[in-house]
Amino acid sequence: MGGPEARAAVLGNRATQFLAMAVRGRAALEGLNVRVYDADYSQIDAQLLDRGSEVYAFQTDRRPTVPEIRREGKKA
């Protein structure tokens, strides 16, 4: 893979491993040099609010997030 390294972090309140794999896979298909940080499960708040967190130390170019989605109830 050529070119300068880009860095992306994937964070969410759900499991994000498959999204991180998809980002890596798409980057490889496009011939991009992308390094992906996948935060631990449900660590979005801790990672984004703490400037000393792993995601800030990783020094990302992009931070895709997967927001928490809740269903309050089903409509009939």
Q: Contact, 13 vs 67, CB < 8 A? A: yes
Domains of the chain, each with CATH number or no CATH? 2-66 (3.40.50)
Q: How many residues comprise the chain? A: 76
What tokens does 2 get?
A: 């050529």
* Distances 28 to 3, 25, 35, 47, 70 between C-alpha atoms, Å: 12, 5, 10, 26, 33
DSSP 62: B
**What tens-digit pLDDT sequence spans the chain (76 residues)?**
668 888 888 888 878 899 899 999 999 999 999 999 998 888 888 888 898 999 889 888 766 555 555 556 655 5
Q: Could you tell me the pTM of the whole model?
A: 0.71
Question: Which of 52, 71, 49, 72 has the alpha carbon at shortest distance from 11?
Answer: 49
